Amino acid sequence: MLLVVDVGNSHTVLGLYDGRELRGHWRVVTANYRTGDELQILLMMLLQSIELHPRQITGCCVSSVVPQLNPALQQVARHAFKVEALMVEPGVKTGIMLQVDNPREVGADRIVNAVGALEDHAGPLIIIDFGTATTFDALTAKAEWIGGIIVPGIQLSADALFEHCAKLPRVDIVVPRTVIGRDTVTNIRAGLTYGYADMTDGLIRRMRAEMGGKAKAIATGGLARTIAGVSKEIEVVDPLLTLKGLRAVFEKNAGPAA
């Protein structure tokens, strides 16, 4: 079985594939200070929750935007599963051509999302990932990653309001019934949801125009369904896009996990 791990700034998403079947997946808080021992204990508990033994893991693929955690993750793969983790980094085969000024700047998660999107969809594609930062990626019909957009994520914006505006409360990000809020909480929720949806739609339209007008918009990330529910331009929501991409990257480099 193949363990795939996507380490983001706020959350780490893990998945376990048996061939192309996703046997289990989990989302945990990313803690930059975790040691290899702590990560190993966490992984053992997750495997135990679906009654799997570490010996059943025959491959591991990792994308990470938190470099300080990479050595600990590699240690866990070696000690707990007796495998070398395939890290998504320059030199790894992905099938994606990075047609940008500095390919080494492109985050591993964005490349993996592009690989995952091409598993089910033909380009051109616009891929939106609602994470700590919200990213928009442009992928051509020839699997060329030609650039994108980065904006502060929805939760990050909500936290900034709470931390820098003394009278504003921290709120859950849910869609209110109306755009015009009747109290402070619904004011904030409307701005975060309808505001981000309209920003997302506007940026998708601008990207489509530069890409020839036909790119399909695919959303992923923790708040993808929330924003897609009020967006007019998002066509597909795939919350497991990154895990799917990690499985595909592993197969391109090491073949299917036994």
Give the C-alpha distances (Å, rounded to integers) separating 98 from 61, 62, 103, 149, 218: 20, 19, 6, 15, 19
How confident is the prediction for the chain on average, in pLDDT? 93
Q: Mean of the pLDDT values across residues 21-42? A: 89
For the segment 32-47, the average pLDDT, to the nearest whole number, is: 89
* 3-class DSSP state of 118: helix
| Catalytic pick among 109, 129, 137, 238 | 109
Instruction: For 134-192, write each residue's pLDDT tens digit.
Output: 999 999 999 999 999 999 999 999 999 999 999 999 999 999 999 999 999 999 999 99
Domains and CATH numbers, the chain: 2-87 (3.30.420.40), 97-244 (3.30.420.40)
Percent of the chain with pLDDT over 70: 99
Q: For residues 131 and 221, is the Cβ–Cβ distance under 8 A?
A: yes
Q: What's this model's pTM, rounded to 2 decimal places?
A: 0.91
The tokens describing 152, both together, are: 């502060």
DSSP per-residue letters across 172-208: -----SSSS-SSHHHHHHHHHHHHHHHHHHHHHHHHH
Q: Any catalytic annotation for residue 109?
A: yes
In contact, 137 and 229? CB cutoff 8 Å: no
Predicted confidence at residue 54, as pLDDT, reads 86
Give yes or no for a contact between 128 and 215, defined as CB atoms under 8 angstroms apart.
Answer: no
What number of CA atoms fall less than 13 Å from residue 181's CA on the CB side?
16
| Res 171: pLDDT | 93
